[in-house]
Amino acid sequence: MLPSDRSAERLVQRTNGTRAAPVGVWTTKGGTVTVVRPAASWVRDGAVDPFADLRRLFRSVLDRIDSGEIPPDVSWEGVVRSVRRFSGGRGFAEWRLDEPHDAGPEG
């Protein structure tokens, strides 16, 4: 979500035709949200969604929070397994979605 129409349009232009193209882009102004580029599925028609199990797990956790089974103020630090960085040092925020990388021999 970006604060201006101009910055959103520039982002869309820079990322068309890249891996970032499915990422939705929105702007906010005066309490209104405008869709500049709608989010699209990363999974192409007919392909198997490699994240289907994780999506189901995530939705079940959200349902359990909504039902009160999991208190909304639970701290999630340390719950998820440790982060293993592909780069050996760069954090997720340091990777651009359209940045090519070689997975190397380990995948």
Instruction: Indicate the domain borders of the chain.
Output: 1-40, 45-77
pTM of the model: 0.45
Tens-binned pLDDT, residue by residue, of the chain (107 aa): 777 888 889 988 888 888 778 889 999 888 888 999 998 887 877 888 888 888 898 889 889 888 999 887 877 665 555 555 555 555 555 555 554 444 445 44
Q: Residue 71 and residue 64: Cα distance in Å, rounded?
A: 9
- CB distance 54 to 48 below 8 Å: no
